[in-house]
């Protein structure tokens, strides 16, 4: 088994040291990391990676901030071109993991060949015992997804795998031959937020069997590069992409909610949400620039 890891950098100066330490400590060694730098004028992460990382890696600096979805697509194309890679791991760099993180993935995937995609249990970095993701589900009514166990203490005692239809791509490992066959790419026009929701929806549509494992864990420094869920940046992209995805799916629950919310935002003078909803109506599908032939 050989794992390709793609991680998209943006304002990652404060988290990159912990990520590098985690990767250097891995007991499983047959992996390669692709760093996609979207913080185009900042040399800090590249310098730290060159100096500190002891595992094989490739560093790519984009000429502009292309967003998380496009950065992950660069990783898909990079690793699918080399058929020696059996699995592709989407992995945020605002995480820290135990030395057996990759080894545990390998053990589960070898023991359970029915698993096409696998996600671990994810905790907040602080407090460490507070769950961020312990399985998840796509939600038609919400027009997005929900995390099981979110913001709660860890009460899951079983070690059994269980089937899910959603996992955040801050840590999701996928079989490369399945990706190559399906030709799935992330929706680059989303830029950030909802990219993993749409990606998981398309994986499910293509027949991928996705599982959650409580036996692997990571610690996630939530929204370290976007200023948090209440920042203007996050409010804009979460609102815009929620409505855009609802429009593309012809999700009547989202469209009904959007009509009500547009009135509320107008009265409350929430200019960010009003602009986001207006922009969602004007968006069009942007196809990835490169695709890998079967």
Decide which of 220, 243, 266 is a domain's last residue.
Answer: 220
Task: Give the span between the Cα atoms of 98 and 21, in whole angstroms.
Answer: 10
pLDDT score at 294: 38
pLDDT score at 224: 55
Q: Does residue 158 carry a pLDDT above 60?
A: yes
Q: Are 210 and 257 in a shared domain?
A: no
Q: Does residue 175 carry a pLDDT above 60?
A: yes
pTM of the model: 0.93
Q: Are 50 and 195 in a shared domain?
A: yes
Q: Does residue 289 carry a pLDDT above 80?
A: no
Q: Are 140 and 240 in a shared domain?
A: no
Q: What is the pLDDT of residues 41-89, one digit of tens each?
A: 999 999 999 999 999 999 999 999 999 999 999 999 999 999 999 999 9
CATH of residue 111: 3.90.550.60
What mean pLDDT do residues 171-200 have? 96
Number of domains in the chain: 2
pLDDT score at 285: 84
Q: Which residues contact residue 18 at a Cβ distance below 8 angstroms, ignoring those fewer than 6 apart? A: 95, 96, 221
Task: Give the span between the Cα atoms of 74 and 291, in whole angstroms.
Answer: 10
pLDDT score at 228: 63
Would 35 be classed as within a structural domain?
A: yes
CA 185 to chain centre: 12
Task: Give the span between the Cα atoms of 78 and 36, in whole angstroms.
Answer: 11
What mean pLDDT do residues 272-276 have? 95
Q: What is the pLDDT of residues 211-261, one digit of tens each?
A: 999 999 999 998 655 556 678 999 999 999 999 999 999 999 999 999 999
pLDDT score at 53: 98
Q: Does residue 129 carry a pLDDT above 90?
A: no
Would 288 be classed as within a structural domain?
A: no
Q: Are 149 and 247 in a shared domain?
A: no
pLDDT score at 267: 84
Angle between helices 195-205 and 232-249 (to 10 degrees): 30
Q: Are 114 and 190 in a shared domain?
A: yes
Would 38 be classed as within a structural domain?
A: yes
Would 294 be classed as within a structural domain?
A: no
Q: Is residue 239 a contact partner of residue 273, using CB atoms and an 8 Å limit?
A: yes
Would 291 be classed as within a structural domain?
A: no
Q: Does residue 170 carry a pLDDT above 70?
A: yes
**Strand positions, DSSP E, the chain:** 3-9, 31-37, 57-61, 87-91, 95-97, 117-124, 131-133, 136-139, 144-147, 162-164, 171-175, 210-220
- Would you tell me how many other CB atoms lie within 10 Å of the CB of residue 163? 11
DSSP string across 202-220: HHHHTT--EEEEEEEEEEE
pLDDT score at 288: 65
- Would you tell me how many other CB atoms lie within 10 Å of the CB of residue 3? 23
Q: Are 83 and 153 in a shared domain?
A: yes
159 class by beta-carbon count within 10 Å (0-12 exposed, 13-18 middle, 19+ buried): exposed
DSSP string across 56-83: -EEEEE-SS---HHHHHHHHHHHHHTST
What mean pLDDT do residues 22-44 have? 97
Decide which of 220, 240, 256 is a domain's last residue.
Answer: 220
Domain hosting 22: range is 3-220
Decide which of 170, 190, 220 is a domain's last residue.
Answer: 220
Q: Does residue 179 carry a pLDDT above 90?
A: yes
Q: Does residue 183 carry a pLDDT above 50?
A: yes
Average pLDDT, the chain: 93
Q: Does residue 160 carry a pLDDT above 80?
A: yes
């Amino acid at each position: 088994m050989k794992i390709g890891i793609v991680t998209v950098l943006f304002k990652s100066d404060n988290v990159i040291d912990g990520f590098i330490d985690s990767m250097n400590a891995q007991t499983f060694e047959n992996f390669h990391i692709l760093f996609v730098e979207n913080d185009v004028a900042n040399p800090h992460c590249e310098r730290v990676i060159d100096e500190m990382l002891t595992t094989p890696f490739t560093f790519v600096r984009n000429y502009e901030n292309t967003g998380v979805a496009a950065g992950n697509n660069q990783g898909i194309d990079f690793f699918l071109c080399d058929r020696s890679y059996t699995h592709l791991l989407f992995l945020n760099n605002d995480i820290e993991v135990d030395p057996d993180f990759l080894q545990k993935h390998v053990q589960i995937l070898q023991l359970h060949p029915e698993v096409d995609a696998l996600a671990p249990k994810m905790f907040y970095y602080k407090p460490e015992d507070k769950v961020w993701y312990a399985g998840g589900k796509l939600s038609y009514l919400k027009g997005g997804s929900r995390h099981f166990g979110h913001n709660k203490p860890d009460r899951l005692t079983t070690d059994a795998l269980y089937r899910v239809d959603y996992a955040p791509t801050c840590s999701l490992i996928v079989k490369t031959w399945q990706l190559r066959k399906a030709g799935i790419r992330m929706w680059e026009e989303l830029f950030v937020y909802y990219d993993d929701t749409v990606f998981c929806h398309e994986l499910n549509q293509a027949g991928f069997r996705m599982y959650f494992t409580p036996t692997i864990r990571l610690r996630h420094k939530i929204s370290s590069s976007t200023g948090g869920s209440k920042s203007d940046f996050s409010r804009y992209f979460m609102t815009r992409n929620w409505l855009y995805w609802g429009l593309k799916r012809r999700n009547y629950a989202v469209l009904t909610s959007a009509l009500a919310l547009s009135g509320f935002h107008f009265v409350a003078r929430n200019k960010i949400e009003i602009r986001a909803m207006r922009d969602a109506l004007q968006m069009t599908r942007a196809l990835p620039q490169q695709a890998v032939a079967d």
